[in-house]
Amino acid sequence: MGLLTDHYLRVQGVNDGSVYALGDCATIQQPKLIDQIEVLFTEADTEHRGALNLRQFQKLVQEKIADFPQLEMFSQSVEKAFIEADKEKSGHLTVATLRSILEKADKKIRALPATAQVAHQEGEYVAHLLNQTTNLQFNDHEQHDLQPFRYKHMGSLTYVGGNAAAIDFTDSKSVLNMFKLKSLSGRSVAYLWKSYYFTEMFTGRTKTLLIFDWIRVHLYGRDLSRY
């Protein structure tokens, strides 16, 4: 499980919020909507009618999305979610119908995968956050309107051996996904994978070492399998 953090990647249990965790060692704790349904409903029901209209439900989604990122699944289609839940076409949601919506959203809660892509985005996020905060003991990110961490899946690219790689943009938010590109695999993708790895090397030294590694493997095979 690693270190539990909040959405700003601050380690839970550190009162002054001065310790951050990111990458493989960190797990963002994601609160369930259903555990707080009564509070959420009462807060959204500003007219105390025991029912939420579409506008109130939209406001709930908009205001609570930072604390409950699983609400993002409705951000583009709040109206559709409302109509689907309001089966009796009453024009409002009760606690019971709201529950059915929130349960759907809670099912979307997933721990982020232990990948370099996640670690990289979290690293950039914490660097940006620290540049925005002047005091490291800063403990009130919410009040200063700082954005919580949001992972953007850019697709998966993996080497599968035998000079071949595979690429998949399913569920990615990248521009490429807009063109509905299908998954690809094979030798050409291996060159794409290698180009990406090469550009991710920080220094000329590691770039050079990587090129020599590839030449050595090409000539003599991998160390693990040949003697």
Ligand X SMILES: Cc1cc2nc3c(=O)[nH]c(=O)nc-3n(C[C@H](O)[C@H](O)[C@H](O)COP(=O)(O)OP(=O)(O)OC[C@H]3O[C@@H](n4cnc5c(N)ncnc54)[C@H](O)[C@@H]3O)c2cc1C
Residue 17 near residue 138, CB atoms below 8 Å = yes
Min separation Cβ 151 and ligand X, Å: 12
- Which pair of tokens denotes residue 226? 């040949």
Contact region for ligand X (CB under 6 A) — 21-29, 44-52, 75-83, 164-172?
Answer: 21-29
Contact letters for ligand X, residues 129-158 (x by CB under 6 A): -----------------------------x
Output the residue with the shortest Cβ distance to ligand X: 23
Contact region for ligand X (CB under 6 A) — 23-31, 40-48, 202-210, 217-225?
Answer: 23-31
The reply on whether position 111 binds ligand X by CB under 6 A is no
Closest CA relative to residue 226, chosen from 215, 216, 190, 211: 216
The reply on whether position 69 binds ligand X by CB under 6 A is no
The reply on whether position 24 binds ligand X by CB under 6 A is yes
The residues, any chain, with a CB within 8 Å of residue 32's CB and separated by 6 or more, are 106, 109
Nearer to ligand X (CB atom), residue 25 or residue 178? 25
Min separation Cβ 25 and ligand X, Å: 6
Site size toward ligand X (CB under 6 A) is 9
Residue 122 near residue 85, CB atoms below 8 Å = no
DSSP strand E in the chain: where? 3-5, 26-28, 156-161, 164-168, 184-186
The residues, any chain, with a CB within 8 Å of residue 164's CB and separated by 6 or more, are 185, 186, 187, 189, 190
Applying CB under 6 A, among 23, 28, 126, 165 the residue interacting with ligand X is 23
- Which pair of tokens denotes residue 47? 């007219």
Nearer to ligand X (CB atom), residue 49 or residue 191? 191
* Rounded-to-integer distance, Cα 56 and Cα 34, Å: 18
The reply on whether position 114 binds ligand X by CB under 6 A is yes
Contacting residues toward ligand X, per CB under 6 A:
23-25, 114-117, 119, 158
